Every structure is written in structure tokens, then in C-alpha cells.
């Protein structure tokens, strides 16, 4: 199974709502990532988890709260978002963040298109 | 400082023609990897090809090949025999292995349009 799944595919929420994005992989990968991508722009890294521990937080506002309950799951909890947070949110995984492995490609999920009204 | 540069915002090509998408990079780490991803309008990032900094030969994967010129710090993607389904955004990305704990660094992308 070489797949990263993300739910939901689309999400529309108001600024006062609380919602969560989910990501799952069963490739035995120990590094998982959240990216935010605006239209026609490259993905911007938000968070990285390595062995279920938060490894990188790219100064993301606290209205985004990541969670890694186990090695296969990654959540992104959303609360009090702003319209400018509307974007495609991509989850990715790779073998191991720490090792200087030669081949450590990231596998991406299909993304969640988030619209904040 | 920008580490990955893709200078072509958009490229247009006819079916069955070859096309080259440019990518230059900047790093002082002797050990690094270069990746190309394709992103159709559906949004999913699809891995295409990988080149390691110590690889002696240029990487190839089916219709995709990477023209790796280490001294010039360029890693151009060549798509042979373009197909309509190749229309998408293409991102060049790099990972520096000395920076363990970092993720991919992406370029700004090139939009490829293939016409019949």
C-alpha cells in the first residue's frame, strides 16, 4: 500500500468553527508532514513529525494545531480560522527524517481543499 | 535566499514533442537530492524522478529524464513525447542531507500546457 489518504477532500467552515483534517499512511513511514498550498504557488511547510514527535513547526499560528496519535495517523485541528487560511492542505510522509538516506521521497496525499467563510 | 529556482512560469508544447523544464539550485552541502513532482489540477503531488548528488548517471523514469549538470547546479526535467495528460504544474525540489530534520525545499513551479 503506497498511498497517503486524506479526509475530507473538501471542507467549508466558518471562522468560529472547529474542524479537523485527517491523514493516514500504512507504508511504515516515520516522518509525516503538513503543507499549505495557495493556488499557483509551491507548498509551504507547516509541521513535521518524526517518530510521532513534533520536529518542525514553521511559525504556524496557534489556530492550527497538529496531532500525531500514532505512527500512521496525522491530524490537523482547526479553530478560529481566517479567510486567508483558505488553501489546499497537503499531507505527506517519508521513510525517516533523521537518517541521511539517499532516497527519501515524500509521498503526498490528494489534499483537502479548505474554504473559510 | 532562494535555493530552488524555476524561471519558466509557463511552458507550451504540442503533443508528441519533447519539452525541457528548467531548475537551478543552490547549496553548499555536497550531499543532496533533487526531486521533480507533478501536480495536476486535482491537487495531488505526484513524484516523478529523483537524482542524488553523487549519482554518476542522469536519472530516467519512462518518458522522464533528468539533465543533471552538477557544476552548473542545474537539474532540468525532460519530458519526451508529450501527452495531453502531462498538462500540469511541475515542481523541482531539493533536500540537503546535511540538514537532517529538514523537509523538501520547493521551487515556484512551472505550468506546462500540452495541446493537440
- Write the residue in B35, B103, B106 that is nearest to A56 by C-beta: B103
Inspect the interface and report whether the beta carbons of B101 and A98 lie closer than 8 Å.
Answer: yes
The DSSP code sequence of B25-54 is: E--S-SSEEEEEEEE-TT---EEEEEEETT
Distance CA A53, CA B105 (A): 21
In this predicted model, what pLDDT tens digit does every residue of A27-61 receive, in sequence order?
989 889 999 999 999 999 999 998 899 987 888 99
**How confident is residue B29, by pLDDT bands cut at 50, 70 and 90?**
confident
Which chain B residues have a beta carbon less than 8 Å from that of A104?
A: 33, 95
Q: Does A104 touch chain B (CB under 8 A)?
A: yes
Q: Which of A6, A38, A42, A92 to mutate to test the interface with B (most CBs of B within 10 A)?
A: A42
Q: In what order do the strands lie in the sheet with A4-7?
A: A4-7, A18-25, A73-79, A64-70
pLDDT tens digit sequence for A52-110: 999 878 889 999 999 999 989 999 999 999 999 999 999 999 887 665 555 677 889 99
A65 touches chain B (CB under 8 A): no
Amino acid at each position: 500500500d503506497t498511498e497517503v489518504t486524506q479526509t475530507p477532500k473538501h471542507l467549508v467552515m466558518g471562522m468560529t468553527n472547529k474542524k479537523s483534517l485527517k491523514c493516514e499512511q500504512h507504508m511504515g513511514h516515520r516522518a509525516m508532514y503538513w503543507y499549505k498550498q495557495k493556488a499557483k504557488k509551491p507548498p509551504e511547510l507547516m509541521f513535521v513529525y518524526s517518530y510521532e514527535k513534533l520536529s518542525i513547526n514553521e511559525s504556524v499560528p496557534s489556530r492550527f494545531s497538529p496531532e500525531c496519535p500514532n505512527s500512521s495517523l496525522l491530524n490537523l485541528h482547526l479553530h478560529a480560522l481566517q479567510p486567508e487560511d483558505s488553501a489546499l492542505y497537503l499531507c505527506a510522509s517519508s521513510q525517516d527524517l533523521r537518517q541521511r538516506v539517499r532516497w527519501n521521497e515524500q509521498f503526498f496525499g490528494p489534499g483537502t481543499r479548505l474554504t473559510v467563510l | 535566499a532562494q535555493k530552488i529556482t524555476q524561471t519558466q512560469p509557463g511552458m507550451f508544447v504540442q503533443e508528441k514533442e519533447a519539452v525541457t523544464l528548467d531548475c537551478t539550485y543552490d547549496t553548499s552541502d555536497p550531499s543532496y537530492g533533487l526531486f521533480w513532482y507533478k501536480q495536476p489540477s486535482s491537487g495531488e503531488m505526484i513524484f516523478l524522478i529523483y537524482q542524488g548528488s553523487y549519482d554518476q548517471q542522469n536519472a530516467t523514469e519512462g518518458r522522464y529524464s533528468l539533465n543533471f549538470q552538477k557544476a552548473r547546479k542545474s537539474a532540468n526535467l525532460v519530458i519526451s513525447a508529450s501527452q495531453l495528460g502531462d498538462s500540469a504544474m511541475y515542481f523541482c525540489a531539493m533536500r540537503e542531507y546535511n540538514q537532517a530534520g529538514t523537509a523538501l525545499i520547493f521551487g515556484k513551479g512551472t505550468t506546462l500546457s500540452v495541446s493537440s
